[in-house]
Chains A and B, each alone.
Chain A
Amino acid sequence: MTQLALVIDLNVCVGCHACVTSCKEWNTSGVAGALADENPYGADPSGTFFNRVQTYEVGQFPDTQTVHFPKSCLHCEDPPCVPVCPTGASYKRKSDGLVLIDYDKCIGCNYCSWACPYGVRELDEKEKVMKKCTMCVDRINDENLADEQRKPACVLACPTNARLYGDIHDPESIVSKAIRENGGYQLMPEWETKPANHYLPRRSASAIDNVLSRNVEQQRPNELKATDAPAKP
């Protein structure tokens, strides 16, 4: 059984929001209708997005790291949002494991959004139906596109290649290898939703393979090992 998923490498995400804008651009332009924007140029803009990039500061000054953290529907393998839906509009597709919403069946009751612990479902303010990431189902299934184009818009847009896409049930896929080799993890494991999307954790500073940190390591090896502090340029 296939389970499509994204794997997001927190080591290389620079928080540029290219995935956010490309997602919005693709998904607001398709046959499924626009993603509403209310008051886009006003004081309190509000819009429907499938994907958001957040920023966290981990640690205490001066030993802090800035973590950019993209978040969209994780296409859980045991999605709590699906069984609560009274209409069957929310469903998990058997063929590829995607969690999808049938906009023509959705009554806009919001119940599925209450049942998702990750806050990724958004009621579209104009169409009044629930929306969320579809893994660009209308790209990846489009046989008219060239193979290398049949990926989610965000994956294609990411300038640092922080977003990997593939089948986590295929042990030889790029995503399975990335998870296996880098300790990929899931969000809020305590609710046993088994998110398909995984995140690759920050590697410790001494392991980062770039010239700057190699120099630092040569200069101050003991200090770095002792404190596990982030790399300072």
Chain B
Amino acid sequence: MNPAFSVIFLTTLIGAGQGLFLALMAIQSGIIAVPSASARLFFIAGDAVALAFLVTGLVASFFHLGHPERAWRAVAMWRNSWLSREVIVLPVFMAVVALHGLCLHTGFAYADQIGIAGAVLCIALFYITAMNYVCLRFLQEWATPLTIVNYTLLGCASGFTLATALAAAMEPALAPDLGRWALALTLLAASARIASLIRNARLRPKSTLQSAIGMRHPHIVQKAQGFMGSAFSTREFFHGRTRQVVQGVKWGFLLLAFVAPAVILGLGSTDGRVSLSGASIAFVTQYVGLLAERWFFFAQARHPQNLYYQAAS
């Protein structure tokens, strides 16, 4: 596939926002060391930052549409379309995050309950986002439960790293614990992503030129695709880069999204103090790595329609 930058930004930005919100919930529920009384401000700031990521992601997604002014129509087919479900759940989740922050700010009760509803929506959103890709069965690189695992873990890893940076700035007592969680999630995400790389390297495409045109002969060559210039079919489904570039992006994202942040977070968590600059660098590096990861995710998927577009003339 030809990676669409709007979708790359959408999925990585909301992933980090979702992960950050889950980190807040992990603290709120006591899974991560209970905060001091002053932590209310940290939570409100966390909700605000998570919301900022979600909104930016949503804005990015509009650039993907030919008719953004009709985007509201996309809520119609929630019964069968994962994209429609995503279009519904994302704004609802954003509203709940905003409400959660507002409740904490005004001292309104039920912030905890709203937080739990937010966490449920957050996990559902990871699932729904991934299912957009999993459900396209002939994009074999995507049609695997590993895609769901990866979207969830990669979002959580970057979100917890972001939470660590935020804690280092506002609530340093929380930072070491969050940093350890971020490190663990980063390592977990790395192993799941590597598992999917191994799986995809072994895939054999189900469709062949033989099944595409229905001729059994082993030697078939396309001589003309029906037009001499370009067309939607030649632009949308292939990245147009060399193998070396794609391989380079792969090693780049393994380094930037996993190795580098893991080293920085690991160093920070051994001496018990996580510096703001260290955690920030870890997050920015990891986020850039995830942009590359998502680019590769698209580029690696081989669409069977490309079988029909092999030779201009």
Contacts and interface: CB of A to CB of B under 8 A. Distances in A.
B260 to A, nearest CB: 32
Given A57-B223, A71-B308, A86 B66 contact: no
A185 interface: yes
A46 B83 contact: no
Contact of B226 (A54, A66, A106): A54
A100 interface: no
A187 B84 CA distance: 29
A85 B269 CA distance: 46
Interface residues of B, number: 58
A48 B232 CA distance: 8
A114 B135 CA distance: 11
A86 B76 contact: yes
Contacts of A166: none
B27 to A, nearest CB: 35
B21 interface: no
Interface stretch (A121-129, A142-150, A167-175, A213-221): A121-129
Contacts of B220: 56-58
A66 to B, nearest CB: 7
A83 B231 contact: no
Interface string B19-38: 00000000000000000000
Contact of A55 (B71, B222, B230, B303): B222
Contacts of A107: 65-68, 70-71, 73-74
A68 to B, nearest CB: 9
A20 interface: yes
A106 B231 CA distance: 20
Interface string A4-47: 00000000000001001000000000000000000100001111
B206 A190 contact: yes
Contact of B229 (A45, A48, A122, A185): A45
Contact of A56 (B67, B74, B222): B222
A119 B70 contact: no
Interface in B200-224: 206-207, 209, 211-215, 217, 219-224
Interface string A185-222: 11111110000000101100000000000000000000
Nearest to B69: A107
Contact of A114 (B68, B222, B223, B303): B303
Interface stretch (B95-103, B115-123, B136-144): B136-144
B237 interface: yes
Nearest to B64: A109
B1 interface: yes
A116 B305 contact: yes
A55 B224 contact: yes
B214 A87 contact: no
Contact of B308 (A49, A54, A58): A54
Interface residues on chain A, size class: 35 or more
A55 B213 CA distance: 10
A110 interface: yes
A60 interface: yes
A117 interface: yes
Given A107-B67, A108-B67, A185-B214, A83 B222 contact: no
Contacts of B219: 58-60
B172 interface: no
B87 interface: yes
A47 B207 contact: no
A122 B232 contact: yes
Contacts of B222: 54-57
A122 B231 contact: yes
Contact of B74 (A20, A54, A69, A109): A109
Nearest to B228: A45
Contacts of B305: 116-119
B65 A190 contact: no
B221 to A, nearest CB: 5
Given A49-B226, A83-B81, 6 more contacts: A39-B229, A49-B231, A67-B215, A80-B136, A119-B237, A190-B207
Interface of B: 1, 4, 64-68, 70-71, 73-77, 80-84, 87, 132, 135-139, 206-207, 209, 211-215, 217, 219-233, 236-237, 303-306, 308-309
**The 3 residue pairs across chains A and B that have the minimum distance between CB atoms:** A108-B66, A128-B66, A119-B305
30 contacts: A46-B229, A46-B231, A47-B227, A52-B227, A54-B308, A56-B209, A58-B219, A66-B223, A84-B135, A85-B77, A85-B81, A86-B75, A87-B74, A88-B76, A107-B65, A107-B73, A107-B74, A110-B66, A111-B132, A113-B232, A116-B305, A121-B232, A122-B233, A123-B232, A128-B66, A129-B67, A187-B213, A188-B211, A190-B206, A191-B207
Interface of A: 17, 20, 39, 44-49, 52-60, 66-67, 69, 71, 80, 83-89, 105-111, 113-119, 121-123, 125, 127-129, 185-191, 199, 201-202
